[in-house]
Copies of this chain bind each other. A is one copy, B any other.
Amino acid sequence: MSTLPSRQVVLARHIPRLPEPEHFRVERVDVGEPQDGELRVKTLFASVDPGTLARLGGVDSYAPALKLGEVIGSAAAGEVLESRDARYAVGDVVVGSWGWREHAVVSARGLRKVEPGAESVSAELGVLGIPGLTAYFGILDLGRPQAGDTVLVSSAAGAVGSISGQIAKRQGARAVGIAGGPEKCRWVVEALGFDACIDYRAEKDLAAAIRRECPQGVSVYLDNVGGSTLDAALTCMAMKGRVVVSGLVADYGVPPEARAGLKNTPFLIIQRLRMEGFVVFDYAARFGEARAELRRWLQDGSLRHREHIVDGLESAPAVFAGLFRGENFGRAVVRVA
């Protein structure tokens, strides 16, 4: 055996605020042979995830910052070309976190085998991957809505938000989304079954719009955005409401002094709120259970999802940049092979 020519996308410059094409570089490399306990894989799909931005500014966040020249991290699904681990055979499809590479040699540890089955391989990076699991634990474990509660979800047409609202509905809650543009809002209500969706681009006063759509107050707010969206939602919470801080896209890569800052903290006291940040990897021991449940809901047709699939690894930076302009619809994934 020999090396395999491959392409990969690396960090060319730290990203001070929002990503642009010049922050990335596509490189050609030769991928070597796997050693004991390793596999050589061909990437089928790579995820494009807004949370990655937190690692690209040169400052450690909940994950260490990427150094210049490092491959952009992401979840990926691929086919095993060669295996030096007894648990995996050539032709198996595995999910791991080797990032934006065409081919890779990866340790068999920390991989997950995708059983041939009903769902598409790309779904393993979306509704059955980190976004779906984030929605699952964010709503069920932290938000814990009761029947009749109102659950508000930002980025409601995104990978986490779209699943979160549907899980809230399963619990008997009213689900209200926030998304950008009439097309997304229509999809959130008509296809996903949310009770309402606020088009933040069409509203002058987001807090007033939230109050209009959530007249009983917001019992659970699953926040994927942070910044002024979170600040507006704080003023609309019901007594004893829970704010689940799942992502703060508005603040990723923004130095503290440049952030809008949360001004409505007195509502924490006024409404006795609980605001809790979480990282889904803390629930790793329960991923199997959650994934089985999500898969069941997909199979019985009660959970819907949508993927924004773009062809070609070299498209990944543009898709990534587009996330922050609200261009994606559902889970953004690049088809690599």
| B248 lies within 8 A of A265 (CB) | yes
Which of A20-28, A69-77, A275-283 lines the interface with chain B?
A: A275-283
| B262 lies within 8 A of A272 (CB) | no
| B62 lies within 8 A of A265 (CB) | no
| B282 lies within 8 A of A266 (CB) | no
Q: A260-B261, A261-B260, A261-B261 are in contact. Are A251 and B266 (CB under 8 A)?
A: yes
Residues of B within 8 A of A276 (CB): 268, 272-275
Residues of B within 8 A of A54 (CB): 266
Interface centre among A246, A260, A275, A282 (most CB of B within 10 A): A275
Count of identical protomers in the assembly:
2
The CA-CA distance from A273 to B262 in the complex, in Å, is: 16
| B274 lies within 8 A of A274 (CB) | yes
Interface centre among A226, A265, A270 (most CB of B within 10 A): A265
Q: Flag whether A304 is at the interface (Cβ < 8 A).
A: no
Q: Flag whether A263 is at the interface (Cβ < 8 A).
A: yes
Q: Flag whether A52 is at the interface (Cβ < 8 A).
A: no
Q: Flag whether A317 is at the interface (Cβ < 8 A).
A: no
Q: Flag whether A1 is at the interface (Cβ < 8 A).
A: no
Apart from A62-B269, A251-B266, A274-B275, list 17 A-B contacts with CB within 8 A.
A54-B266, A226-B265, A226-B266, A230-B265, A245-B268, A248-B266, A256-B263, A256-B264, A257-B263, A259-B263, A260-B261, A261-B261, A268-B276, A269-B279, A272-B278, A272-B282, A273-B276
In the A-B complex, the 9 residue pairs with the smallest Cβ-Cβ separation, listed nearest first, are A261-B261, A268-B277, A269-B277, A262-B262, A256-B263, A62-B270, A275-B275, A274-B276, A259-B263
Q: Can you show 10 pairs from A to B with CB atoms below 8 A apart?
A: A226-B266, A245-B269, A252-B266, A259-B263, A261-B261, A267-B277, A272-B277, A272-B279, A273-B276, A275-B276
